[in-house]
A and B are shown apart, each in its own frame.
Chain A
Amino acid sequence: MEFFERFMVPHPSFLIYMSMVLIALVSIALVAVVTYFKLWGYLWREWFTTVDHKKIGIMYLITALLMLFRGGVDAVMLRYQLSMPENAFLTAQHYNEVFTTHGVVMILFMAMPFITFFFNFLVPLQIGARDVAFPRLNLISFWLFFMGAMLFNLSFVIGGSPDAGWTSYFPLADNEFSTSVGTNYYMIAIQIAGIGTLITGINFITTIMKMRAPGMTLFKMPMFTWSALIANLIIVFAFPVLTVALAMGAMDRLFDTKFFAIGDGGMDMLWANLFWVWGHPEVYILILPAFGLFSEIIPTFARRNLYGYNAMVWSMILISVLSFTVWTHHFFTMGQGAMTNSIFSITTMLIAIPTGIKIFNWLFTLYKGKIVMTTPMLYSMHFIPLFTLGGVTGVMLAMSAADYQYHNTMFLVAHFHNVIIPGVVYAMLAGLTFYWPKMFGFMLNERIGKATVWVMSTGFVLAFIPMYITGLDGQARRMYTYSEATGFTTLNMVSFIGAAIMAVSFGMLVWNIWYSFKNSPRNIGSDPWNARGLEWATHTPIPSYNFAITPDVTNASSEAFWDMKKNGVEIFKGDIKKIHMPNYSGLPFVMGVFFFILGFAMIFSMWIVAIIGLIGVLGCMVYRTFEKDEGFYIPEEEVKATEKKYEEMYKKRGDK
């Protein structure tokens, strides 16, 4: 019996049972719909096996949005639990599980795929390439990430969710204190997704360093591509640390090794150390692409070029090194001496300087600009003050002596949400609105869009500013309830109302997508925002080969499309030639499935099944190395015919 008991959720409640039923119903409904409309073949041929960077990007986007809602529901539950003293909505155990999954899902399965979506969709277009350097590896990245995300979410219905916090500190995360398989899910699902992310990093560094259009020197790259290069560089050097830490954690739990154990020489602090050696650079992996997006959006709608291009680039290069030198500030109270804390306090304050430079550059870009207040621009305008507030509280936390007061309080929770939501989430939504017409051929409604931004910011301020106050008053994070005597009641209620308002704003986002899909005009051409970057120089919808003629930006600046439009710089020179393209492949999906089997079996220590999964993974690699795949050519005539079709389509629709 014991064998089967591990698969049960250890602390079931009415809520969990209800969610299980819902998940089951939605899954069955999805399968039924796809089967009814006979879409399996289409999905397999056009999506599951695609090596087209734009389609892989969209698959990342869909996963990210799904996870945004899963993490969002978690968030509302947490705030509701705290909205009243002695609330019995969630038990302590259930509360632990919810804040753990909220953190992991939002950082690793929402923010990461969201930025990866932008890497995939934008980078090849911005540098004038046909695809990424390793298209098939790109699909492997996606499936590993996706299987990792699904494996993690499976913990909700099979075996129980992880409950040791998104940082999963030892010894709490060890078998003694985390008895369910939940933390095994954490160690292994994140590992699988992390390998996918590492591969993405290698892929995009190679793409950006080796596949830029003729004439595009490093210092003529669009700003988002620069941010992608630096973020991927950090990915390649930070994720191996996570790989090692997770492997050691998994071994402690599964094989009884003693890395982080309490006795036998184990050192639980080593986990915290390694986790944050990865964890702090991870923050910059998320925020740099967000900065890159704002740097694309702000010049477009200020109608002037970005102020201080070189300063922007060098500040990012500086961040790429500094981000690896500050990790101790996550655990100033662990017991190391004042000297160490001082060193890391100083490095932490130093890293605020390049970030501050960027803020000033955006402000100077706005100065004397002819600002057009569109939805993406409105997100950017809300981002600057709100993010600066988060940055300033960050400098407060950076002072190690003062940090003893803030540590593990709601003040900290307010701080990091204050940088991640206006920083990363606003950038993602601004970018999504900005590039939506490039992806899907229609624009999102501006009125609903702007209303969404205002509602979201209102909710944000109401939800998080009170936490600064309760945090300073001593409300600890991760406590599932508090007594009325603490006086936290009102502010926590305000916080809950804010969270609910934010939930409404995300509902408005969904409504906007549906409304615009129904009502927006389709004859918007390929440059509806009057934008500046090379990514707007191709048709909408983007043909599979991106550009019929490889752009040559020798005579253009980092805003090649703008130079072409306004200054008549010729960037498409020469004739259309045949185009070499990579073949689609089903192998990455199969490999992902084997990874899923391997991971699931390891979580439950089912070693025979695990070996089968491992053999499957290795078999895929062997198959790949013996396979001959040289891609194919799209003949010249076909490219010309496609280009002609676009011309006819524009004429027929009456595009500008």
Chain B
Amino acid sequence: MAHVDHSKPLEYATEENDLKIFGFWVFLGAEIMLFGTLFASYFALVDRTGTGPTAAEIFEIGPVLAETFILLASSFTIGLAIHAMRLGSKKATLTFMGITLALGLAFLSVEMYEFVHYVHVGAGITVSAFTSILLTTLGTHGLHVTLGFFWGLSIMIQIAKRGFTPATANKTFIFSLYWHFLDVVWIFIFSFVYLKGMM
């Protein structure tokens, strides 16, 4: 229906698509501020452990490394998915997206293990201001990954059923922006929550 401009990649091909990508960038600006606020709160509360454990006492390098490399890899594969989409290969796109989502699921499993571990060592969310903000910051990121997982799944179904249309290509591209952004957030969590906490 809408006018399709074939000189551009499919995800930018209609005016509506162009608007959606721009709008999503603006949304990411809001997300930067959202996580920025969580970081500000985290830094304010990190040493306020009350009677609960401190950061250095509960962090474990193993799961953190696993999560970091899994998420970095998934950010790479979703980039490859977009590249494959621009080459017009439906099979490759779906494969790379599938790998991305599988990695996302692996990340969530490790995070789940991590949360259980925290509760076990007496760092549940109600223990101290530190545990509250720690689990809220990690949880907000984890919730984003969870939502992203189901969102990505629904896009994969749409690509499989409808092929590459301006609409599906647009959604895939926007999903990739979201997923990369979650990786950016994780890098900051990895550096300033975990590494700084264990330094």
Contact = CB atoms under 8 A, between A and B. Distances in A.
Interface of A: 133-134, 198, 201-203, 205-206, 209-211, 236-241, 243-245, 247-248, 251, 255-259, 261, 263-267, 270, 273-274, 277, 580, 622, 625-626, 628, 630-631, 633
Contact of B132 (A259, A273, A628): A259
A265 B129 contact: yes
A209 B22 contact: yes
Nearest to A266: B129
B126 interface: yes
Nearest to A260: B129
B33 to A, nearest CB: 4
B19 A210 contact: yes
B123 to A, nearest CB: 12
Contact of A257 (B1, B29, B38, B132): B132
Given A206-B19, A265-B50, A631-B2, A258 B126 contact: yes
A455 to B, nearest CB: 42
A238 B31 CA distance: 11
B30 A258 contact: no
A264 B154 CA distance: 43
Nearest to A618: B150
Contact of A264 (B2, B19, B40, B51): B51
B19 A133 contact: yes
Contact of A248 (B19, B22, B136, B158): B136
B23 A258 contact: no
| Highest count of chain B CB atoms <10 Å: which of A238, A259, A265, A633 | A265
Interface of B: 1-2, 18-20, 22-23, 26-27, 29-31, 33-34, 37-38, 40-41, 44-45, 48-52, 125-133, 136, 151, 154-155, 158, 167, 171
Contacts, number: 120
23 contacts: A133-B19, A198-B30, A206-B26, A237-B33, A240-B37, A241-B33, A241-B37, A255-B125, A257-B126, A258-B50, A259-B41, A264-B127, A265-B52, A266-B50, A267-B48, A270-B41, A270-B44, A580-B2, A625-B151, A625-B154, A625-B158, A625-B171, A630-B1
B138 to A, nearest CB: 14
Given A206-B23, A270-B45, 8 more contacts: A134-B19, A134-B20, A134-B23, A206-B19, A248-B41, A251-B136, A266-B48, A628-B167
Nearest to A628: B167
| Highest count of chain B CB atoms <10 Å: which of A210, A241, A257, A277 | A257
Nearest to B18: A210
Given A248-B41, A263-B50, A236 B29 contact: yes
Nearest to B19: A133
Nearest to A244: B37
Given A134-B19, A248-B41, A256 B129 contact: no
Nearest to B3: A580
Q: Is the interface of B mostly helix, strand, loop or mixed?
A: helix
| Highest count of chain B CB atoms <10 Å: which of A256, A259, A580 | A259
Q: Is the interface of A mostly helix, strand, loop or mixed?
A: helix
Contact of A255 (B33, B34, B126): B126
Contacts of A625: 151, 154-155, 158, 171
Contact of A237 (B29, B52, B154): B29
| Highest count of chain A CB atoms <10 Å: which of B41, B125, B158 | B41
A264 B133 contact: no
A630 B29 contact: no
A255 B35 CA distance: 21
A259 B154 contact: no
Nearest to B23: A206
A276 to B, nearest CB: 12
Contacts of B128: 258, 264-266
A237 B33 CA distance: 6
B23 A133 contact: yes
A328 B155 CA distance: 45
A622 B154 contact: yes
A267 B19 CA distance: 42
Contacts of B27: 202
Contacts of B158: 625-626
Nearest to B158: A626
Contacts of A257: 125-126, 132, 136
Contacts of B136: 247-248, 251, 257
A263 B48 CA distance: 10
A481 B154 CA distance: 60
A244 B30 contact: no
A239 B30 CA distance: 8
| Highest count of chain A CB atoms <10 Å: which of B30, B44, B130 | B30
Contacts of B1: 630-631, 633
A205 B30 CA distance: 12
A258 B52 CA distance: 11
Given A202-B27, A244-B41, A248-B41, A264 B167 contact: no
B19 A245 contact: no
A244 B39 CA distance: 11
B25 to A, nearest CB: 9
A377 B22 CA distance: 38
A236 B129 contact: no
Nearest to A257: B132
Given A210-B19, A274-B37, A237 B30 contact: yes
A376 B133 CA distance: 50
